[in-house]
Structure 1
Amino acid sequence: MKVITFDRFKPGVTMETITPFLPEEVANVWRLWKAGIVRENYARADEPGVVIVFEVDSVEEAKRYVDDFPLSKKGFLEWSYIPVIAPLPLEALMDASVDVSEPYDRTR
């Protein structure tokens, strides 16, 4: 299962607050990425923060990893969790007359 997580700074926390701890935070995420636990990592475009996609068995497992992040341990962040799974085969919802054969990308 994939779990999409995103953080928000708690009130009063700024980039200046967290900057001294970023090398340790980034190294922690990088180790999890190399272990195949973090699949994707993004900077938020709408506000300071990150979006991390975990490959784990449950939201609880993702929470255990997030709780171990240095910035989480310091109480600087609030996290949200969205578990996602592969959608049911979309082709099953289509009429048999709908063409779903190759080439799949027909924009070229």
Structure 2
Amino acid sequence: MKILAFDNFKPGVTLDDLRPYLRDEVSNVWRLWKAGIVRENYARADVRGVIIVFELDGVEEARRYTDDFPLSKAGLLEWHFIAFDAPLPLESLFDPTVDIATPWDRTAA
């Protein structure tokens, strides 16, 4: 399941408040990216903050990771989460004669 997590800085937080934590924050996300837990990471274009796309079993697992981020531990961020998956069993839209049996990747040897 994909979990979209986005943060907001708590009121009054400045760049000077963030600076002592940024190196550890970035390296923490990079470590999770290399582990396949973080799939995408973006800077928000509308406000200061980030968007992280996790590949996890659910929101509570994503929350455990964001709670462990240095900026979260310092009390500087609020996190919001959206879980998403395929919109519906897509095969229900197929003609019953369409082959959707395993192996799904017919190009694999």
With 83-92 and 45-54 compared, the bigger mean Cα shift is at: 83-92
Deviation at 1:91, TM superposition (A): 7.8
With 1-10 and 16-25 compared, the bigger mean Cα shift is at: 16-25
Q: Percent identity?
A: 66
Matches within 5 A, 1:74-93: 74-88=74-88, 89=90, 92=93
Deviation at 1:59, TM superposition (A): 0.4
**TM-score normalised by the chain length of structure 1:** 0.81
Flag the 1:76–1:90 CA change in 2: closer, same or farther, 3 A. Answer: farther
- Give the equivalent residue in structure 2 for 1:41: 41
Q: How many residue pairs align between the two structures?
A: 93
**Using the alignment, how far apart are the partners of 2:91 and 2:73 within structure 1?**
41
CA RMSD between the two structures = 1.5
Task: Give the ranges of 4+ consecutive aligned residues of structure 1 lying more than 3 Å apart after TM superposition.
Answer: none
Q: Which runs of 5+ in 1 are unaligned?
A: 94-108
- Give the equivalent residue in structure 2 for 1:27: 27
